[in-house]
Structures are given as C-alpha cells and as structure tokens.
Amino acid sequence: MSWIPMISYRTFRTYVQGHEGAKYLTLLFLVIILLFSIIFSTFIGSVHISFMSVLQVYGSQIPFLSRFIPENFTATQYTIIASIREPEVLGGLVVGASLGIGGAVIQSIFRNPITEPYIIGLSSGAALGAVMTIILGLTFLGLYTQQLLAFVFAMASVIVVYMFALRGGKAHPTYMLLTGVALSFFLSAIVALLLFSNINLEDEAFFWLLGSLENINWLELFPVTAVVILCSVILGTQYRELDALQMGDTHARSVGVNVERTKGISIFLVALSVSAAVSISGLIGFVGLIMPHVARIIFGGSNRFVLPGSALTGSIFLILADDIARGAVVGVVIPIGIITGIIGVPFFLLIMRKMAGGKYGT
Amino acid sequence: MALELNNVSYSAGRFKLGPIRAEIPEKKITVIMGKNGSGKSTTIRLLHGDLKPAEGRITLDGTDVWRIRAVDLARKMSLVTQEINDPLSFTVKDVMMVSGYARDLDEESILQALDLFNLTPFLYSSFNSMSGGERRLVTIAASIYQDSDIIIMDEPTNFLDVDNQMLVYKVLGELKKKGKTIVLAMHDISAVSAISDYVLMLKNGELVDQGPTSSTLTVENLGKVFNVPFRTYETEWGLNFSTPLVPENEMD
C-alpha cells in the first residue's frame, strides 16, 4: 500500500508550498534533526562514552550555560570528544553546508540540474594541489601546506575557467561549463600522471581523492568555518538574484538584476567556500549535486528556502554518512566519498522517483 | 517616457541592422514587422539595452538605454522574451515574484495580473509542467506585474490558441488605455492591423517604412517586406490580409 504515505506527502507538499510559515517550521525541524545528528555522531566511536557525558562536554563548552552543567566526565573523555570527535562531526557540518549551498547556487547560475561546484574546475584544481603536495613532499607553507595548496589551486582553476569564458564582459554559462569540464579533464590527467609515476605514494593521495573527515582538527576547522559562514551569509542575501537567473540572463536583466555582477560575486563566493571546505575534507562527491534537489523537493524552487535547506540537508547527510563510514566495518574507516555514493545515490533516485512529481517537467 | 532611436545601427557578422531613426509613440501600441532574420529581435534587444548599438543612440528620456542601471530600467521597461527557460521546481508564484524584483512585493497585484488570463488557480502549480501556451501567458502576466510604463514583447502570441491570442490582444488594449507604451514584434498581419497604432517595417535589417498603421500597413509595403502578393478584404471584424497559399507561378 505504498500510495498511503504518498498521499500524505503530497498533502504535506501542497501545504508547505502554499504557506510561508510551514516552510520556516520545516527549516526549524531540519535544524533539530541536525542537532540530534551532531550529538548522536559524537556519541558513537570505538571508546564508549555515555550519552550524558557527551551532552555535558558540549554543555561545558558553551559560555554562561557551562556554569549550570555538572561535569561527570574524565579528562580523557573530554579530550576524546573535544579533540577527536567534535572536529570531525563539526567538519562534516561545515563541509556539508558549503557543498549544499554551493550546489544550489551553481545550479541556479547555470540553470542546469546536473551541475555542481566541482564542475567549474574546483575539484580537479584542489586534487592537483593536494596530490602534488603529497607526491613531491612539499612543506614550504608549513604544517598545512597540503590544505593551503589545495585551496589555492581550486580557486585558481575557477578563476581560469571564468576568465576563459568571458566574452565582451559576459560569462556565458555554456562557455563556462565547457571550459570547466575541459580544464577538469586536463588537471585530472596531470593528477593521474603524478600518481602513475609515483606508485609508492599512491595510497595517501588516493585517500585524499576519496575524501575523509577523519583527520580534521580545530586549527584548520576554525578558519574554514569562518570562510564558509561568511560566504554562505552573503550568498543567502542573493536569493532573489539567483531566482531571477534561473529564468535566463535576458529575463533576469529585464526584471532589474545586474546579471554579470551577480554571477561574478556568486561564483567567487562559491569557489572560496567550497575550496576552503574541500581543502580539509578532500573530494566528497554527491552532496553538492544532490542536496539542492532534496531541498527543492521539500521546499519548492525559490532559493530563499533552497539555500538554507541545501545547507541543512547537506550537513545532516554528511554527518550521518560519516557515522556509517566509521561504524560499518569494525576497526576500519571507509573513505566517506565511497559512502556518500553507495548510500546516497540509491536513496536519492528513490525519492526523486517517488516525490518529485512533475516538478522537473512532464 | 520618450523612447527614441537616433540613427541606430548594429552589426554582428554578416548581419547589419539600420540605420534606424524612429520615435516610439507614447501610450500607443507599436509593432515591429518583418520576415524571420529581418532584425526584429535585434531591434528589441537594442531597445531594451541588452545590446549596445554600433552607431547612433537609443534613448529613454534622453539617456542611453544601455547605460541605465538594470534595476532602474526595470521600473520603466519590462520585457517578454521569446524563449522561456526551465527554472528548477518553480511555481507560477515564484515566476511572478522574480518579475517583482525591482518593486515592492504586492500579493494582490500578482493575483490581479494572473486573473487577466484566468491563471489565479495555478498560483502554486509547477511552472515547468505547464504547456508552452500557459507558460507564455504566465510570463506576460509577470511583465504586467512588473508595472513599468513601457512593455516590450517579442512574439507574445506564439504557441497560443486562438482564444488566448484574443485574450492577449484584449489585455494589450486595456494596458494601452491605462497609459502604457507597448512595443511588439508580431507575425499575424490581420492582428497587427487590428490592434496597433504604429508600425515599423523591416527588411534585411533595413527600415522599409514606418508610420501610423492605417497608412503604413499597405498591400504595397507588405509585398515589399515579404516578397509575396497580398490582398485585403473587409470583414465585419475589420480588415483581413491574405496571401496565396502556394506561389502564384506554380498555380494553374
């Protein structure tokens, strides 16, 4: 009787689409799920720490509130939670949000549902930076040479793609996509060449390419979080411009949008935010492509809700996928990129088939 | 709101347009006519400042149109383009809201604009799953919601059934009465004759003739523009234009 939940879903969707308040409530609901995912994911791990202790460690880190919270945990437990599990879980939050928003923005600019931040050269640029550092053993930027080079190469790739696509002051979406895909192939070939000629270092580079939240620490998480929050807030204020761009550049201009400025600013901010995120996580696929669609299925197409919705669903999804990466096989952490693909794609195909209805045309 | 073309020319590759000198009459319906590729759409893009003329000026109240900030221009001029994109998961309301970018949100006006085309029940319908004709009507309603003094439409009645074409013509007439200046690119010659006040006739990028519809939309001018013979006949609904259905030299 699979039609029974479908009827209730349709009723829910029609209701949510027609009521602003229902959309805000749904956002709030996602925030609550996110908080639960964070606490749950901090709870699971190879060393058992009670659920209450996890809550108390979190509570003790919140200014003012900490005074009222009993501290029934040991110093070791505190270290495990605060130094190992928290940065990994919060890293999932930041990376997931960055990829989710980035995907929603890029899909709006290119008016294309199968685009994502990686398509404009971001991922292959970051990959080249990281793999080069590993294989050539570069250390000239200190402890975080790999992250910094991944970031710089990702930004540089996007800028090259954008400049290449500029014709008469306008960056045409089709040129940008083609240039992005072409440059990605080129950079990936160089990465493959580096890997091919250094078989003994393949492992480390290979793991970076598959993505992982495991080794994120506070020192790298802080600046990345700052960058992602800043970019996301500014992108969030651009939702009307991004909506207009979906109707076509000429239409957007005719309703009053400064098209080239919006595109330039948005692409720069997405590049900044996602480059920062992947510099600490490696290449985690699927989130940027799919989470905006999940948000659209829940909230409808306007970026006013799609942007925060993609950030929240991206964070929740990545945090839970990381739980599976850590917990699926005892003693082994599977690279999270593998999990996002294997678990996420069938899940998405299912909800798209069942719930998207005629939203993408009939 | 004086929209003027002052010796405007434009070229892209082998295509050349102009020079055109014309003044779009205010609070009237002006139609740009011509064959496919004669420069109608280019003229519309120039009028809207989407393209910059190679020579000459297109001015709105004395300022070059392409220099006006997009948000200021949107308050004075709206545009219905020929092609309609597929915005991801938009409802009809989302499409209308986009056209309200340069003005304050006014739900009442959104409903009024949709009501002109009996589209209010579709407010929360998926825009992408509508038919081509319905989508066209939504974009026309959206341009009306934008509430600018000048409305430019490129082939507004394409894809529309006869009844909806009549509805669009009726709404255009009402807009004119409200003091809007309307510029259209159109194919249906009988309709041009019925609704327009002024015509610009283009052929291969050159302005063949311009003037009030009654004196300019003649069999001679149409013959020049389209290279086929035209006849007119009076009907109880007004003047009708017809052409032979097959070239005359092939008729026996």
SS3 A285: coil
**Quick one: angle between helices A86-110 and A239-246, nearest 10?**
40
Residue A310, pLDDT score: 96
Summarize the confidence of residues A346-356 as an average pLDDT: 72
**Would the CB atoms of B101 and A255 count as touching at under 8 Å?**
yes
Q: How confident is the model at residue A1 (pLDDT cuts 50, 70, 90)?
A: very low
Q: How far apart are CA B120 and CA B100, in angstroms?
A: 17
- Closest CB from B79, B94, B100 relative to A301: B94
B70 vs A contacts (CB less than 8 Å): 253, 256-259
Task: Name A21's Cβ contacts closer than 8 Å, sequence gap at least 6.
Answer: none
d(C-alpha B9, C-alpha B159), whole Å = 31
- Is B101 an interface residue toward A (CB < 8 Å)? yes
Residues of A in contact with B77 (CB under 8 A): 254
Sign of CA dihedral B178, B183, B187, B193: positive
Q: What is the pLDDT of residue B251?
A: 55
Put simply, whether A191 touches B (Cβ < 8 Å) is no
Contacts of residue B72 in chain A, CB cutoff 8 Å?
Answer: 256
pLDDT of A170 over the 70 cut = yes
Residue spans per domain, chain B: 3-250
Q: Residue B86 — φ and ψ, nearest 5°?
A: -100, 90
CA dihedral (A250, A253, A257, A263) positive or negative? positive
Interface test with A, best of B73, B79, B88 (most A CBs within 10 A): B88
Residues of A in contact with B71 (CB under 8 A): 256-258
Q: Is domain B3-250 given the CATH code 3.40.50.300 in the classification?
A: yes
Contacts of B33 (CB under 8 A, 6+ apart): B40, B185, B186, B189, B192, B199, B200, B201, B202, B225
**Residue B86 to chain A, least CA–CA distance (Å):** 7
Q: By the CB < 8 Å criterion, does B110 face chain A?
A: no
DSSP, collapsed to helix, strand or coil, labels residue A281 as helix
Asked whether the beta carbons of residue A254 and residue B83 sit closer than 8 angstroms, the reply is no
pTM of the model: 0.90
Question: Which tens digit of pLDDT belongs to each residue from A277-315?
Answer: 998 988 898 899 889 999 998 898 899 999 999 999 999
- Dihedral of alpha carbons A20, A22, A26, A31, sign: positive
Least confident of A20-34, A320-334, B50-64, B190-204: A320-334
Q: Which CATH architecture has domain A3-355?
A: Orthogonal Bundle (1.10)
Q: Which of A254, A259, A361 sits opposite B78 (nearest CB)?
A: A254
Mean pLDDT confidence for B207-211: 90
- Residue ranges per domain, chain A? 3-355
